[in-house]
C-alpha cells in the first residue's frame, strides 16, 4: 500500500457549495452588518432552536466561551463543580477559569460518559453544579443524572460539544438538564467555522447569557453582568446556515463510513467499538476504537504509529486526562478515576468525515488489522 498523498487526517470540515456561501457573503457586504446579532445571526438562532427542539438558544463565537458564559450565568456561590476528566481540556479549563474547583467523577466502562452510580458519592456541601460530558456523540445517562441533581437541588449543565443533532428516544439532548453547550468548531460534524451555542428551557437564563456574551449589556443599555465579548459574527452564522441545510445528508454519509469500519473490523479479538445506548440517534461525530494489547498484540500507540507510516493520522482522544494536564500538576489524582484513565490509554479515534472514501476506510482497516499479532 502506498503512502497517502495528501495525507488522511482524523477529520475534515464539511463545507457547503462555495457559490451559496458567496451569495450570503454578498448579503453581508450589502448590509455592512458584520456582528452584533445581524440578519444571518438571527436566522441561525431561529433555525437551530427548531433543529434542536429548544425554546431558547444563544450563539457564541466558540464553544469554550459558550461554556464559560453558561457557568457564569448560573450565578453560583464559590465551590465545586462535578465533571469527568475524560473530555477535552476546555471543560476543565472553563470550570477553573470561572473560579470553581473541578471534582472528577469516573466514567462508566461502556459509553465512557459520567457514571451516574458514582455521582452521588462525589457530592459535598460545596457542590454547586454538575457538568457531565456527552462523549463521541454518545449521550450520558441523562435521566439518572437529572434525578440525582433534582434530589440535591443542583443545576446540570451538559457539555454537548460532541452531541449536535443526537436524540434519545426521539427527544433532543438539548432538552435535558438546565442547559447544554454545543461546539460548532470546524472539526465537529456541524460547524460554523468556529462557534458554539447554549440551549436552555429557561428564558431568564437565556437573557443572562445575552449579557455575559456582550460585556453585560441588555436591551435597556444597562450593564448588569461583568461580561465579555463572545458574540458570533455574520460570516460564521452564514456558514452555519448553509451547513445546517446539508447536515442530514452529511450525517447519512458519515453513517456509511461508520458502517464500513464496523464491517471491516468487527470480530477482531482485542479490538472493540463503543456500544450505542438504546434509543440513540447517532451523529457519527467520531470513530473511537479500543485496543486490549494483551489480546490484540499491539497497543493503541503502536497502531497509531503504523497508520502514520502511511500518511494516516488518527487521534489519541482523550489523552492525557484533563486531570493529568501539566498545568494542573499535583492538583488531582488520576488514580481516583481508574476507568477514565484506562480509556485514555486504549482509545484511538480513526479518521471520520463525510467525504472519506470507502476505499480509504478499507485501507485504514487493513493497516489496523495488520497490527494484530
Helix and strand numbers, DSSP H then E, in the chain: 12, 13
Residues forming a β-bridge with 349: 288, 315
Where do the structural domains in the chain lie, given as residue ranges?
18-245, 248-370
Average pLDDT over residues 350-371: 98
Return the pLDDT at 79: 98
For 25, the enclosing helix (H) or strand (E) is helix 18-31
The helix-helix angle for 234-245 and 247-265 (nearest 10°) equals 60
User: Tens of pLDDT along 246-271?
Assistant: 999 999 999 999 999 999 999 999 99
* Statement: the pTM of the whole predicted model exceeds 0.85: yes
- Give bridge partners of residue 198 from the DSSP assignment: 58, 181
Does 18-245 match 248-370 in CATH topology? no
Instruction: List pLDDT tens digits, range 143-159.
Output: 999 999 999 999 999 99
CA quadruple 172, 317, 352, 62: dihedral, nearest 10: 60
> Which residues are registered as beta bridge partners of 229?
214
Q: What is the pLDDT of residues 286-310, one digit of tens each?
A: 999 999 999 999 999 999 999 999 9
Owner of C-alpha cell 435535558: 176
| Burial (CB count within 10 angstroms: exposed 0-12, middle 13-18, buried 19+), residue 30 | exposed
pLDDT tens per residue, range 174-197: 999 999 999 999 999 999 999 999
C-alpha 25/C-alpha 37 separation (Å) is 15
Grid-cell match 490484540, residue found: 296
Give per-residue pLDDT as tens, 156-174: 999 999 999 999 999 999 9
* pLDDT computed for residue 101 by the predictor: 98
pLDDT band for 134, please (50, 70, 90 cuts).
Answer: very high
Whether domain 248-370 has CATH 3.90.1150.10: the reply is yes
Q: Quote the pLDDT of residue 186.
A: 97
Write the CB contacts of 227 (distance below 8 Å, at least 6 apart in sequence).
69, 211, 212, 213, 214, 215, 216, 217
Instruction: Name the DSSP letter for residue 1.
Output: -
- What pLDDT was estimated at residue 267? 95
pLDDT at 78: 98
pLDDT tens readout for residues 9-49: 999 999 999 999 999 999 999 999 999 999 999 999 999 99
Helix H segments across 182-292? 203-212, 234-245, 247-265
Identify the pLDDT of residue 64: 98
Phi then psi dihedrals of residue 224, to 5 deg: -100, -20
Instruction: Give me the mean pLDDT over the 105-125 stretch.
Output: 98
The residue assigned the cell 488522511 is 8
Q: Are 93 and 100 in contact (CB under 8 A)?
A: no
Query: What order of strands is seen across the sheet that includes strand 80-83?
Result: 101-104, 80-83, 127-130
Average pLDDT over residues 56-79: 98
| Confidence class for position 8, pLDDT limits 50, 70, 90 | very high
Judge whether 65 and 228 are in contact, CB under 8 Å.
Answer: yes
> Considering the chain, what percentage of its residues have pLDDT values greater than 90?
99
pLDDT value for 110: 96
CATH topology for the 18-245 domain:
3.40.640
Contact assessment for residue 270 and residue 327, using Cβ atoms and an 8 Å cutoff: no
Amino acid at each position: 500500500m502506498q503512502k497517502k498523498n495528501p495525507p488522511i487526517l482524523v477529520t475534515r470540515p464539511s463545507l457547503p457549495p462555495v457559490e451559496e456561501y458567496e451569495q450570503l457573503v454578498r448579503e453581508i457586504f450589502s448590509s455592512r452588518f458584520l456582528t452584533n446579532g445581524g440578519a444571518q445571526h438571527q436566522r441561525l438562532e431561529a433555525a437551530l432552536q427548531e433543529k434542536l427542539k429548544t425554546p431558547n438558544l444563544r450563539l457564541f463565537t466558540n464553544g469554550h466561551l459558550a461554556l464559560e458564559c453558561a457557568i457564569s450565568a448560573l450565578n453560583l456561590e464559590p465551590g465545586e463543580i462535578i465533571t469527568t476528566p475524560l473530555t477535552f481540556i476546555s471543560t476543565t479549563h472553563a470550570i477553573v477559569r470561572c473560579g470553581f474547583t473541578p471534582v472528577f467523577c469516573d466514567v462508566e466502562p461502556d459509553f465512557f460518559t459520567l457514571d451516574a452510580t458514582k455521582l452521588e458519592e462525589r457530592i459535598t456541601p460545596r457542590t454547586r453544579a454538575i457538568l457531565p460530558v456527552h462523549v463521541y456523540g454518545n449521550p450520558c445517562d441523562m435521566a439518572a443524572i437529572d434525578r440525582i441533581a433534582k434530589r440535591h437541588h443542583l443545576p446540570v449543565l451538559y457539555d454537548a460539544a460532541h452531541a449536535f443533532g443526537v436524540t434519545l428516544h426521539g427527544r433532543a439532548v438539548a432538552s435535558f438538564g438546565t442547559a447544554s453547550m454545543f461546539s460548532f468548531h470546524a472539526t465537529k460534524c456541524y460547524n460554523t467555522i468556529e462557534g458554539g451555542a447554549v440551549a436552555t428551557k429557561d428564558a431568564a437564563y437565556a437573557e443572562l447569557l445575552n449579557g455575559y456574551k456582550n460585556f453585560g449589556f441588555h436591551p435597556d443599555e444597562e450593564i448588569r453582568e461583568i461580561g465579555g465579548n463572545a458574540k458570533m459574527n455574520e460570516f460564521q452564522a452564514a456558514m452555519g446556515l448553509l451547513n445546517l441545510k446539508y447536515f442530514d445528508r452529511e450525517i447519512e454519509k458519515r453513517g456509511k463510513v461508520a458502517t464500513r469500519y464496523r464491517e471491516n473490523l468487527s470480530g477482531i479479538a482485542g479490538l472493540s467499538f463503543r456500544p450505542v445506548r438504546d434509543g440513540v440517534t447517532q451523529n457519527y461525530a467520531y470513530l473511537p476504537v479500543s485496543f486490549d494489547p494483551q489480546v490484540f498484540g499491539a497497543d493503541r500507540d503502536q497502531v497509531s504509529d503504523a497508520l502514520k507510516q502511511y500518511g494516516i493520522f488518527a487521534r489519541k482522544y482523550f489523552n492525557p486526562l484533563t486531570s493529568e494536564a501539566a498545568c494542573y500538576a499535583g492538583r488531582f489524582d488520576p488514580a481516583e478515576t481508574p476507568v477514565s484513565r484506562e480509556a485514555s490509554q486504549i482509545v484511538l479515534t480513526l479518521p471520520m468525515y463525510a467525504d472519506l472514501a470507502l476505499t480509504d476506510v478499507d485501507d485504514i482497516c487493513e493497516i489496523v488489522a495488520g497490527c494484530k499479532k
